[in-house]
A and B are shown apart, each in its own frame.
Chain A
Amino acid sequence: MTRIRPRLRGRELGLLVIVALALVAGSLSLGAAGRLRAAQLEDGTTVELLALADSTQLLVFLGALFVAHLALVLAGRRTDQILLPTVGLLGGISLLLMERLPQDLAGGLGGLAQTQLVWLVLCIAVLTTLAVAVRNDGWLRRYKYTWAAAGVALLLLVFVFGREEESGARLTLVIGPISGQPTELLKVMLVIFLAGYLSENRSLLVEESTRLGPIRLPPLPYLAPMVAMWAIALGVVIVQRDLGAALLFFLVFLLLLYVSTGRFSFVALGLGAFAVGAVVLYRLFGHVQQRVDVWLDPWTDPLGAGYQVIQALHAFARGGLIGTGLGNGLPTVGGQPPIPALHTDFPFAALGEELGLVGILGILGLYLVLIARGFRIALAAEDEFRAILAAGLSLVISVQAFIIAGGNLKLIPLTGITLPFISYGGSSLLANAVIVGLLIALSERKLEPLPPIRPPGRLQRLLSRGAA
């Protein structure tokens, strides 16, 4: 075994310092706003304005980021240096936002921000562990059907044990003391499966063997997974009432299909199937219908179904170009923030108000950085599996960000999906940490060479791995 030699990561360090400075500035601004407001209530007291909102929480978070950096330096791998600071800034913004909201909105570990901080630190730990430890991808590509089966099993578990939410969505799996949203993990498993399946069958899919008039279909046997994906997406909508996840799965699938086959016709076909499914769902299911109707015109029911969406639009409007400043927006009505479920579904609108259009463009820019780095890794990948995997992983994050941001902005119907790295919630943070951790690991130029293809026989493989 070769000795691991530490390797300096100057660019990452520099970017992390910038991120830290930005977050300290944000925390100062938030702290000043909070203290000013408190002073106005008591009137007459002088306030110390130059202090952090919550120095401990911010220091813990920044500390975790720099420890992660140190770990990556010590690991000595030539991996991407942009992703960690990008995630760091997004997570830091999330932390500031959670500090700023009423602490009793959610969170069992001493408040909203405290709980989010725990998840953020865990998220950095998972990300770093994967970035350091994943040195080959064999375990990912070999067991693709296992991953897929596990994913479907998770879905079934939710179906059976899922806790129904107020909105009628069935997203949360509760088994004993552990609860989580398995769709978040499911999306990672699905990408791994798709990368494996598509890279393996790419050439077959491309061959024309089935023609329907002028339309070229993939060979029928290989159409099955496509139909299965479509069915899974529909199932997610019907069983879990989770429109966002369904949309995410299907879009990521279509885009990956395009990446691997290069055929736009498949995408067109998929979109056609999607349209048919959408129309049928709209006709059959009240919750789908309501979402779409609210999207088309929320003002027909401004105090009922349209309330959330309208309030979000007002938040964007109040923010304007430069925003109200952290801690100065989001007027409370009866001690509650103006938008229901703000911390999970509408952080984008909240940031739109407090950071303004400038801040929104900055955050969209951060996601674009994630996309750019992910696709760069894909382009530089040594084989198709890795290319499709890297593309798929960054697609999951970016498409998800698009779906929820678009929903907040009333560009598309609103769905209850999380804004990656910013929304409150552990499942989402951990799943996205897994994604970025894998991306960083995949970015190493000289990843260990693939082990030679072994003859089939799982037992034998296991034995041989055990012996290695």
Chain B
Amino acid sequence: MTAGPRSIEGAAWTGRRVGIGQALLRVVLALAIAFGGLAAGAGYWQVLRSSELSSAPNDAAVIAAARRVLRGEISDRDGVRLAWNKRDANGEPYRVYASDSLSGVIGYASRRFDKAGLERQWDAQLSGVVSADPLRDFLRKFQADPSDPQDLQTSLVLELQDAAVAALGRNRGAVVMLDPRTGEVLVLASTPTFDASAIANPDPETAGAAFRQVNEDERRPLLPRATQGRYVPGSTFKIVTAIAALGSGAVTPATSFEEQPAAEERGLLVDGFRVRDGHHPATGDRALEFDEAVEASCNIWFALAGLRTGGEALVDWAGRLGFGQPIPFDLPTAAAQVTGGGGSLGGGFSDRVELANAAYGQAETLATPLQMALVAAAVANDGTIMRPRLVIAATGKSGTTRFEPSVWQRVMSAGIADEIADAMRQAVAGDIGSAFTPGANVRGLRVAGKSGTAELEPGRSPHSWFIGFAPYDDPQIAIAVIVEESGGGSVKASPIAGDLLRDWRAWTRR
């Protein structure tokens, strides 16, 4: 069968040779094996690795499906559209937003830059892949359209949201307004805002430029301050201390501290450190009671009340209000804190000085605007905090689901809440109080509240705070306003709160 003599064949391992016919058959065999290898390779990718690869988030079909799907629209509580879709030249939808003022709440859904805010948190409902396994839905090739995008109705009021952002102006800051009876959030403003529509633009250049600009902005517009900004709360925290002190029974509304008047002059010595109050000459040298201490925003009184309450009780009662862990909400929230923790004193305070300072909202206390709005809401709603909510209804093919209010925390008795509410009313309407909260007292709307000036490290202007609710005898709205490093103390936040409460009243009368 082979050409060539036997001697050659046996000469060396290289010596065997075959005839053309034989060689042709061997080459065909080799090619057949090679093509068999191709078939095996195809089988490997198309059968063994098929489901893994085709369900990966970077698979073109998964991306395309997400891009093709017409996301549900987002509206405010009056049905005003906040986010909806347009189509680009390829017929693929993209997102547009009603107002820049919404950027910190609604966020954006962009092809290139993923999603943020409500668009991210409620993505499954908005894009309609709510079933447990979206892949299975997708792979059912013969199903016409397995997705069920849902329209979301939020509790926001666009005109109030716009008004809040306008009131904050060029300042960095945040406003939260919510209904203490239902937990529905009407305003969740954060400045500076950004142009979410530009980031969601289908043109990669436009979107890229907008995203880059927002990311490089030193004022950090991408931080949703209302829910994730952690600020020194200053005197607004005195309401927390009041709840803890009265709730635990450490003090009563009639409690006064003998050493307080003298300490106003010389400063309060706690373990050798001086805690000094700096204001209200109008109260004279009288020992203040609870409501007067709130109205005059007396640091010494609250330092003493905090020391008497004790660190453990203060942290415990603050925890009932939501401090210490993220607040359950429709958006991610940052946890507020009374102390950095880790100290040997009860509640994790490092010493009594820290506790005394924390009791009037300095030291290491930090709170989000949403947290402080909930503190006001707890007082307004007879001691009960309703679970804060943004989405009140979702409408899909199968109909509308409404999300009902639910109780989140029962913090204190209605009696204690009333005592604190009375004091907060005085802090806005009283002779001394109104000096601290200029502009917060709206004619014809009985506002209760507490201002705050959060001292920061030397060289930085303090944050200006106001928390409150209205009407005082039938609370329907709670509010928290912070203006970052605005310099003017509470004079900055209080008038904003007053203006927004006036706008709110105008809106309710419509």
Asked if B445 lies at the interface with its beta carbon under 8 angstroms from chain A, I say: no
**What is the 8 Å Cβ interface bit string for chain A, positions 293-329, against chain B (1 contact, 0 not)?**
0000000001000000011011111111100110011
Known A-B contacts A314-B56, A395-B27; the reply to A368 vs B35 at CB < 8 A is: yes
Asked if A384 lies at the interface with its beta carbon under 8 angstroms from chain B, I say: yes
Q: Tell me which residues from 1 to 54 in chain B have a Cβ below 8 Å from any Cβ of chain A.
A: 2-4, 8, 11-28, 30-32, 34-35, 37-39, 41-43, 45-47, 49-54
Shortest B34–chain A CB gap in Å is: 5
Q: Contact between A331 and B45 (Cβ–Cβ < 8 Å)?
A: no
Known A-B contacts A319-B46, A331-B65, A395-B27; the reply to A384 vs B41 at CB < 8 A is: no
Shortest B202–chain A CB gap in Å is: 8
Asked if A140 lies at the interface with its beta carbon under 8 angstroms from chain B, I say: no
Known A-B contacts A255-B27, A320-B50; the reply to A41 vs B91 at CB < 8 A is: yes
Q: How far is the CA of A387 from the CA of B25 in the complex (A)?
A: 12
Known A-B contacts A208-B8, A364-B35; the reply to A328 vs B18 at CB < 8 A is: no
With beta carbons under 8 angstroms apart, the residue of B15, B20, B41, B47 that contacts A411 is: B41
How many chain A residues touch B (Cβ–Cβ < 8 Å)? 65
Q: How far is the CA of A215 from the CA of B3 in the complex (A)?
A: 19
Shortest A211–chain B CB gap in Å is: 9
Shortest A36–chain B CB gap in Å is: 9
Asked if A88 lies at the interface with its beta carbon under 8 angstroms from chain B, I say: no
Q: How far is the CA of A68 from the CA of B41 in the complex (A)?
A: 36
| Residue numbers in A under 8 Å from B15 (CB-CB) | 216, 265
Q: How far is the CA of A332 from the CA of B91 in the complex (A)?
A: 11
Q: Contact between B20 and A331 (Cβ–Cβ < 8 Å)?
A: no
Q: How far is the CA of A432 from the CA of B233 in the complex (A)?
A: 79
Chain B residue, CB-CB nearest to A269: B14
| Residue numbers in A under 8 Å from B54 (CB-CB) | 314, 317-318, 320
| Residue numbers in B under 8 Å from A265 (CB-CB) | 14-15
Asked if B120 lies at the interface with its beta carbon under 8 angstroms from chain A, I say: no
Q: Contact between B38 and A364 (Cβ–Cβ < 8 Å)?
A: yes
Asked if A11 lies at the interface with its beta carbon under 8 angstroms from chain B, I say: no
Chain B residue, CB-CB nearest to A361: B39
Asked if A185 lies at the interface with its beta carbon under 8 angstroms from chain B, I say: no
Stretch with Cβ within 8 A of B (4 or more), from A236-244, A333-341, A433-441: A333-341
Stretch with Cβ within 8 A of B (4 or more), from A143-151, A277-285, A371-379: A371-379
Asked if A262 lies at the interface with its beta carbon under 8 angstroms from chain B, I say: yes
Known A-B contacts A328-B141, A331-B63, A387-B20; the reply to A317 vs B45 at CB < 8 A is: yes
With beta carbons under 8 angstroms apart, the residue of A264, A268, A311, A409 that contacts B45 is: A409
Asked if B78 lies at the interface with its beta carbon under 8 angstroms from chain A, I say: no
Q: Contact between A367 and B35 (Cβ–Cβ < 8 Å)?
A: yes
Asked if A82 lies at the interface with its beta carbon under 8 angstroms from chain B, I say: no
Chain A residue, CB-CB nearest to B45: A316
Q: Contact between B18 and A262 (Cβ–Cβ < 8 Å)?
A: yes
Shortest B411–chain A CB gap in Å is: 50
Q: Tell me which residues from 57 to 97 in chain B have a Cβ below 8 Å from any Cβ of chain A.
A: 58-61, 63-65, 67, 89-92
Shortest A39–chain B CB gap in Å is: 11
Shortest A92–chain B CB gap in Å is: 21
Q: A-side binding surface: helix, strand, loop or mixed?
A: helix
Q: Contact between B19 and A262 (Cβ–Cβ < 8 Å)?
A: yes
| Residue numbers in B under 8 Å from A352 (CB-CB) | 42, 45-46
Shortest B51–chain A CB gap in Å is: 8
Shortest A52–chain B CB gap in Å is: 22
**What is the 8 Å Cβ interface bit string for chain A, positions 27-39, against chain B (1 contact, 0 not)?**
0000000000000
With beta carbons under 8 angstroms apart, the residue of A215, A320, A406 that contacts B47 is: A320
| Residue numbers in B under 8 Å from A387 (CB-CB) | 20, 24
Chain A residue, CB-CB nearest to B15: A216
Q: Contact between A259 and B24 (Cβ–Cβ < 8 Å)?
A: yes
**What is the 8 Å Cβ interface bit string for chain A, positions 386-420, against chain B (1 contact, 0 not)?**
01100100010011001001100111000000000
Q: Contact between A206 and B4 (Cβ–Cβ < 8 Å)?
A: yes
Q: Contact between A384 and B20 (Cβ–Cβ < 8 Å)?
A: yes
Q: Contact between A320 and B46 (Cβ–Cβ < 8 Å)?
A: yes
Q: Contact between B38 and A405 (Cβ–Cβ < 8 Å)?
A: yes
Q: How far is the CA of A214 from the CA of B12 in the complex (A)?
A: 6
With beta carbons under 8 angstroms apart, the residue of A310, A320, A332, A367 that contacts B64 is: A332
Q: How far is the CA of A215 from the CA of B12 in the complex (A)?
A: 8
| Residue numbers in A under 8 Å from B11 (CB-CB) | 216
Q: Give 6 closest A-B pairs by Cβ, nearest first.
A: A265-B14, A317-B53, A331-B64, A338-B60, A335-B90, A409-B41
Residue ranges of B at the interface with A (Cβ–Cβ < 8 Å): 2-4, 8, 11-28, 30-32, 34-35, 37-39, 41-43, 45-47, 49-54, 56, 58-61, 63-65, 67, 89-92, 141, 145, 202
6 further A-B pairs in the complex, CB-CB below 8 A; given A264-B17, A375-B27, A387-B20? A206-B17, A314-B53, A314-B56, A317-B46, A317-B59, A356-B46
23 pairs from A and B in contact (CB 8 Å cutoff): A215-B14, A258-B27, A259-B24, A260-B20, A262-B3, A314-B53, A314-B54, A314-B59, A315-B60, A318-B54, A321-B46, A331-B63, A332-B90, A352-B45, A357-B42, A357-B47, A364-B38, A375-B28, A388-B20, A395-B27, A402-B38, A409-B41, A409-B42
